[in-house]
Amino acid sequence: MKTNRYVACVNVLCAILLLSLFSGAQTQIDPSSSGQGPPKESGSFRKPELVELIKLDRTIKLDIRYATSNNFLGRAVYKEARAFLQRPAADALVRANKVLRKNGYGLIIHDGYRPWSVTKIFWDATPADKKEFVADPSQGSRHNRGCAVDLSLFDLKSGKEVVMPSEYDEMTERSHINFVGGTPEATRLRDMLRVAMEAEGFAVYEPEWWHYDYKDWKEYPILNIAFSEIGALQTSR
């Protein structure tokens, strides 16, 4: 009987110890590191000023795939088909569009500012061997800062989007900015887009010919607000 009571006491003490250790570990978890929210940032940032692109230049076309099921997820993650960038990036994009229009082409936007929560959805849904095509939510995305844009060209005469070496959001080697296997015309158009964007302070993300980051992206904070809340953000900060 004494032996049984001794064993029972030891088991109870072990259970209490394990419970206290688990509880202590739980209280130390940072929500941002466990995927419950954006990463915490230190330092000073510019005041966000997200601008709706078509309000700056109505000749820019929108094809916001993430507001539809026509994307790599197969479902909509935006409630509204809208595109925003921080004002300096938006102004630079308008200038690039004007240059391209002189050559018979216009910009068509697939995505701009992206809430952090959507970046998390993309990361969780993407296989490990394709992670280079999505941003790590623990670091945040330049889309989350309002300084990245996904875009292509459309022909001014036909109004149709041009053919590039790969489809938008295609997770293959054909999407790389230096892929050499496309048709001469597709390569020419891809390179034309790059020249126009780089002249205005954008840099291409090499695995994706459609993704461009504005030069001042580090100066803006990671944001996690819906499109419908952007107006309130501008007035409250």
In the chain, what's the furthest Cα-to-Cα distance? 95
Helices (H), the chain: 2-27, 53-56, 87-102, 116-125, 184-198, 230-236
Q: Is 219 a catalytic residue?
A: no
**Amino acid at residue number 96:** A
Q: What share of the chain is helix, strand, coil (3-state, %, to 5)?
A: 40, 15, 45
Q: Which of 41, 200, 208, 229 is catalytic?
A: 208
Place of tokens 């230049």: 57
Q: CA-to-CA distance for 49 and 208, rounded, in angstroms?
A: 26
Q: Which residues are catalytic?
A: 208
